[in-house]
Amino acid sequence: MPKNVNITTVISILDLLAPHSCRGCGHLGEVLCDRCKNYILQGTPLIQPKSLPPHFPPIYSVGERSGLLDQLIHEYKYNSTRALASKLAELLDHRLPHLDGTVVIVPLPTSTAHIRERGFDHTLHLAKKFAKLRHYKVAPLLVRTKNTVQVGTDRKTRLKQADSAFAISDHAKINPATTYLLLDDVWTTGASMEAAVKKLRHAGAKDIKIALLAVSTLDD
């Protein structure tokens, strides 16, 4: 293989040749076969990332951001392989405990620049797939106030940027009896999630939980 052909290009070509081959083992049929799905689920779910602020809501994640799980998330986000959303939703379904009462999934808002680039809002799309499996509702209660992508290097700057980047939607009606399940793909610094929790709490949400596809252990 020529050196300048990156893995994304290879995946794109494979996708054209065999759109329904398992990303883990190449087996024809589905984008993720049951064996590879179980392989991911055998890994340890990273329930709590490092350095959480006090009284932070419980966090559930499919696993660590590495190997096949990382590869699936990457392809889903950057190659816009929508077929992966159902499989990622199934993984979430396996990992998340049963939640009582009314549950509303609140996807973390994607920047419009990213939506334009990828052709769809990957977090919202995933939220809808997962909601269908669990009979939850989806409500994009958080909106972006400006289209800045996090660029700050230190934690304090990132938190400040994230805090001013989100707002509660004008039409949002927060019910204190509802469970709000904040959904994001990857936890890296946690700055966006911290800001999202703060905004929801400020708007009156009492029961917040967090669902993630993966937790990155590389960044602090």
Number of residues that bind Zn ion (CB under 5 A): 6
Q: Specify the residue, 36 or 139, whose C-beta has the smaller distance to Zn ion.
A: 36
Backbone φ and ψ of 126, nearest 5°: -65, -40
CB of 87 to Zn ion, least distance (A): 11
Using DSSP, state whether 211 is helix, strand or coil.
strand
Q: How far is the CB of 53 from Zn ion (least distance, A)?
A: 38
> Which residues, other chains included, contact 22 with Cβ-Cβ below 8 Å and sequence gap of 6+?
28, 29, 30, 31, 32, 33, 36
Binders in 15-74 for Zn ion, by CB under 5 A: 22, 24-25, 27, 33, 36
Give me the least distance between CB of 26 and Zn ion, in Å please: 7
**Between 89 and 138, CB nearer to Zn ion:** 89
Handedness of CA 33, 45, 125, 175 (dihedral sign): positive
Please name which of 163, 167, 161 lies closest in space to residue 149, comparing C-alpha atoms: 161
Closest CA to 92 of 56, 125, 54: 125
- Which one, 35 or 173, has the nearer CB to Zn ion? 35
Of the pair 32, 181, the CB lying nearest Zn ion is at 32
Minimum distance of Zn ion from residue 17's CB (angstroms): 17
* Interface residues toward Zn ion, by CB under 5 A: 22, 24-25, 27, 33, 36
